[in-house]
Amino acid sequence: MGSNSCARHVSGTAAERNADLLDFSKVEYLNSSGIALIIQMLMQAAKSDRSIQTFGRSPHFQKVFTMVGITKYTGLHPDERAACAASD
């Protein structure tokens, strides 16, 4: 899982925009501890008025993220460009 900023797609840095991206395009497995860590990170970001957008999930992870409620804290986007656009 990678973390990116939208600086190359839109004006302003991630720090200026209070936004970060999580790239799941190369993630093949995520256990319950990993899911809990992601939820904790997203909740902490929300408390700090930061936006975290995700992209690159497989259909399986899309379903899991929806089932466990991750969609309450982040957008689930098909690609990096869409995730960047959502963080505006």
Query: For position 9, what pLDDT does the model report?
Result: 41
Q: How many domains does the chain have?
A: 1
Rounded alpha-carbon distances, angstroms, from residue 46 to 31, 73, 79 = 23, 7, 22
pLDDT tens-digit map of 14-62: 445 567 899 999 999 999 999 999 999 999 998 988 889 999 989 998 8
Task: Give the domain range for residue 46.
Answer: 2-86
Q: Flag whether the pTM goes above 0.85.
A: no
Residue 37: give its domain's CATH number: 3.30.750.24
* Site of tokens 């319950």: 32
Ramachandran bin of 37, using left for φ above 0, alpha for ψ from -120 to 50, beta for the remaining angles: alpha
